[in-house]
Structures are given as structure tokens and as C-alpha cells.
Amino acid sequence: MTDPNRYARVDFGGSVARLAQLPPDTGREVAFAGRSNAGKSSALNAVTGRRGLARVGKTPGRTQLINLFELGDDRRLVDLPGYGYAKVPEQTRRNWERLLASYLEQRQSLVGVVLILDSRRGLTSLDWQLVELLQPTGAALHGILTKADKLSRGQAAKALESVRGELGRAGVDATLQLFSATHGQGIDDLHGLLDEWYGWADIP
């Protein structure tokens, strides 16, 4: 049975600007990735029940480094740099993208990626780039369609099926769900999936 308190006990493990600064490539890591302003920080805060864990603000693009959060037992949550935010210097954006790609391609302890998608936008070209980077790695992919509370039930269901159809037609193996950090929608489902990825699903 899922223990939400397991995620509330998370500790900040530092920020890194280069892969060489990461902790030893052992254990299990789950990365949260997504387009800037898609709701990544809010999702991380909702999953852990720690409102101030990841910085949330009106200005997107706050995550400029890889942020690590320790769950214990050699398991980590990883907050990857948001992508697609235009109001930063070109060189800065390139550095973010290079860091993101290198992490996805090289990190052996990465067991899964939670892809943050704004339910009102669906998959963007930048999201597809991340999906394509992830495919050769063998890491699992789970998409959460955030801000579902801003859509009617019918619209939200349609958005979910649209993304599912796009991924299916591209031959991408992924799971999906609706999510609202504001209303707490989908948090229990995401906890259950994370338990499986971390190998906690069968531990009482």
C-alpha cells in the first residue's frame, strides 16, 4: 500500500550544473521533466506534500540546474531544467538543453521520467524531443496532464485521449493520467506508480 509520508520525508540533495557533480550513479532515480510553465514545480510539491520544495512563481524557467531530492535507500527524485522558455539568453538555453540531454542519455540509475504536460496544450515539439531522447534509454515514461481543473470533465478526457493517440501512433510506450496540483487530482495514482518504479510497491 502506498505510503504518502514516504515522499513527504524527502530531503534536498543539492543542485548541479554538470553531470560530473551528480551523486554516484547507483540506486533508482525518477526525473520530473517538462516545458517551462507546464506545472512541474507544482507537481513536485503536490507529490511530496511539501509546498515549498520546488520553487513556484509567475516567472517560468526557474529550474536552471538539476535539483536532487533524496528519499532514502539510494532513491532520488530529480527535478530537471524546464525547457522552452524563450526569455533567457540563447547560450543559457543551450546549456540547459545540453545538460538535460546528457542526463537522459547517460544516467544509468534513471528508472523513469514523469513528463509534465499542460492539459490545455498537449504534446509540443519540445516535448517530442524529450520523448525521442528517452526512447533508447529503456527508462519508463509517464505523462501527467496538469491543470486538468481548468478543463471540463469532457475536455480533460478528450485531451488525455488525444495525447494517448499521438504517442500510440508514434510507437511510444507510455502511461498517462490527468493531474491537478490545485485540487489534488491524480496524486494517489502517481504515488502508486512511483512506488512501482522505486521498488516499494510490495513493501508494507
Cβ atoms 63, 78 nearer than 8 A: no
Mean pLDDT by 10 residues, the chain (204 residues): 80 91 96 90 91 57 77 94 73 81 94 97 93 94 97 97 98 97 95 96 66
| Per-residue pLDDT at 84 | 75
For the chain, the helix, strand and coil percentages under 3-state DSSP, each to the nearest 5:
40, 25, 40
| Per-residue pLDDT at 46 | 94
The Cα–Cα gap between 179 and 187 comes to 7
How many CA atoms does the CB half-sphere of 121 hold within 13 Å? 18
- Residues 103-149 pLDDT 10s: 999 999 999 999 999 999 999 998 999 999 999 999 999 999 999 99
| Per-residue pLDDT at 87 | 67
Q: Which domains are seen in the chain, by residue range? A: 5-198 (3.40.50.300)
Tell me which residue has cell 526557474. 62
**Planar angle of CA 157, 84, 176, nearest 5 degrees:** 25
Whole-structure pTM value: 0.92
Beta strands in the chain (DSSP E): 11-16, 28-34, 66-72, 75-79, 110-118, 140-146, 175-178
| Per-residue pLDDT at 60 | 45
Candidates 35, 1, 9, 7; CA nearest to 143 is 35
| Per-residue pLDDT at 203 | 60
The type of residue at 39 is G
Region class of 61: left (phi > 0), else alpha (psi between -120 and 50), else beta: left
Cβ atoms 160, 178 nearer than 8 A: yes
